[in-house]
Amino acid sequence: MSRRLAGITLGVLLTVVSQSSLAQTIQYMRFPAGSVQGGTLNLPLTLQLPCYGRVQVTITPVPGVTFFHQTAAENSSPQNAPQFSWGADTDRFNVFANAGTIDYTITFTFLDGPPDASKLLLVVAGLANGTTATVTTSPITSPGTLLGEFHFPPPLPGGSSTTNQAGNVLSSANDGDPVNTGWALYRPQSAALTSVSVQMHQVGGDGLGWTLAYVCDPAQTPAMSLPALMLLGGVLALVALKSRC
């Protein structure tokens, strides 16, 4: 084997490992069987979050919550964070402010102990210009991170507006659809969380929603560990040097 071939082999192996270690498969909260688009959801409600367990969802005061399946977000990845991907399980809670501005809080309480905060994601979608979503945690932590957003086509300045983050407040940049942001992934700060809440200030005529997600496993699993692949590459390089081809 030539030195050049051994070097190429090592480079390919390391590239594969690097890409697979970045790929992260997301699964979304599972809603009751038989839920239909626009159907009423009576909260409090306890749902299953895949790869974590049970989550109780409460809202106060109750503005009227419905089930919404986000068809346009199925089998997608954020354009600005392609390492995240998901399937067709894009279900979420939905609230429509049809009688003027409303204020309320939706809370996700973790019933099976603290989740791994590094794998936990809050999805906020459909914010109108003027609507704000303030995210808080228990125990209180510093603001989390907006990791990426699936932008509903067409490309800007059409399609959905971009989600802005200012501390722990999410809002619309109003650079596209004035009544809808995209499918945004927000990760809370790492802590032994017991709950995540979203305090809403929702302008009239705005329909929006939320769900939780969890990073379950890599989209690809390398057949060998990184140290093993590095060792293999080293052996190949040594063989090439000795062969003097």
Q: What distances in angstroms separate CA 142 from CA 55, 106, 134, one per listed residue?
A: 22, 19, 12
Apex CA 185: angle with CA 184 and CA 186, to 5°? 115
Residues 45 and 9 in one domain: no
Residues 149 and 85 in one domain: yes
Domain that holds residue 50: 25-217
On average, the pLDDT of the chain sits at 86
What one-character DSSP code corresponds to residue 7?
H
CA distance 121 to 149: 12
Residues 199 and 243 in one domain: no
Residues 120 and 240 in one domain: no
Query: In this structure, are residues 193 and 120 in contact, taking their beta carbons and an 8 Å threshold?
Result: yes
Its pTM stands at 0.81
Residues 198 and 115 in one domain: yes
Model pLDDT, residue 99: 87
Residues 197 and 236 in one domain: no
CA distance 155 to 206: 22
Residues 156 and 229 in one domain: no
What are 233's two structure tokens? 């590459």
Residues 63 and 132 in one domain: yes
Residues 141 and 156 in one domain: yes
Q: Rounded mean pLDDT of 108-116?
A: 98
Query: 242: pLDDT confidence band, cut at 50, 70 and 90?
Result: low
Residues 89 and 180 in one domain: yes
- Residue range 152-210, pLDDT digits in tens: 999 888 999 999 999 999 999 999 999 999 999 999 999 999 999 999 999 999 999 99
Number of domains in the chain: 2
Query: 11: pLDDT confidence band, cut at 50, 70 and 90?
Result: very low
Q: Rounded mean pLDDT of 129-143?
A: 98
Residues 228 and 136 in one domain: no
Residues 143 and 238 in one domain: no
Q: Rounded mean pLDDT of 18-38?
A: 84
